[in-house]
Amino acid sequence: MTFGERLRHIRKKRGLSLNKLAELLNVAPITVSRWERNQREPDFGTLQKLSEILDISIDYLLGKEDAKIGTSLNLEDLSDLPDEAIKSIEEFIDFVRKKYGKK
């Protein structure tokens, strides 16, 4: 899979339109379109932003690994839960960090 194919795939998987991704990156939509059509490639700084926005490694985008698409927990995703449920989730995260040594 080419860089452009990977970028298009992950963008769509994340539910982002081409225009929205361009807006988040502060570039013109035609720029993202050119990346997805393998006509141009982003610079390293933009690759870093893409990686953060799409929650995927730069190595995946560049085709150096076939890693699974990353997932991250965003507290806004939990906004519809009661406070007690959020507290339970936070306690579980603390438990897992202690168990596996991440502080």
Query: What is the model's pTM?
Result: 0.63
Q: What are phi and psi of 74, to 5 degrees?
A: -115, 125
d(CA 19, CA 16): 8
Domains along the chain? Answer: 3-61 (1.10.260.40), 73-103 (no CATH)
pLDDT tens digits for the chain (103 residues)?
A: 899 999 999 999 889 999 999 999 999 999 999 999 999 999 999 999 999 999 888 888 888 876 554 445 555 566 788 888 878 887 887 788 788 775 4
Give me the pLDDT at residue 33, please. 98
DSSP codes of every residue in 44-93: HHHHHHHHHHHT--HHHHTTS--PPPP----GGGGTTS-HHHHHHHHHHH
Mean pLDDT, the chain, rounded, equals 85
